[in-house]
Chain A
Amino acid sequence: SQELEQSPQSLIVQEGKNLTINCTSSKTLYGLYWYKQKYGEGLIFLMMLQKGGEEKSHEKITAKLDEKKQQSSLHITASQPSHAGIYLCGADGGGTASKLTFGTGTRLQVTL
Chain B
Amino acid sequence: DADVTQTPRNRITKTGKRIMLECSQTKGHDRMYWYRQDPGLGLQLIYYSFDVKDINKGEISDGYSVSRQAQAKFSLSLESAIPNQTALYFCATSGTPGDTQYFGPGTRLTVL
User: What residues of chain A have their CB less than 8 Å away from a CB belonging to chain B?
Assistant: 1, 4, 30-31, 33, 35, 40-45, 48, 50, 88, 90, 92, 95-100, 102-105
Contacts and interface: CB of A to CB of B under 8 A. Distances in A.
Contacts of B102: 45
B20 interface: no
Contact of A98 (B42, B58, B101): B101
Contact of B45 (A35, A48, A96, A100): A100
26 contacts: A33-B100, A33-B101, A35-B103, A40-B106, A40-B108, A41-B106, A42-B105, A42-B106, A43-B90, A43-B92, A44-B103, A45-B100, A45-B101, A45-B102, A45-B103, A50-B98, A90-B101, A97-B48, A97-B56, A97-B97, A98-B97, A98-B101, A99-B48, A103-B42, A104-B40, A105-B42
Q: Determine the main DSSP class of B at the interface with A.
A: strand
Nearest to A103: B42
Interface residues of B, number: 27
A98 B41 contact: no
A104 B102 CA distance: 18
Nearest to B4: A42
Contacts of B42: 4, 88, 102-105
Contacts of B40: 104
B101 A104 contact: no
B37 to A, nearest CB: 9
Interface string B15-55: 00000000000000001010000001111110010000000
Nearest to A89: B42
A48 B100 contact: yes
B99 interface: yes
Contacts of B48: 97, 99
Which one of B59, B92, B98, B104 has the greatest number of beta carbons of chain A within 10 Å? B98
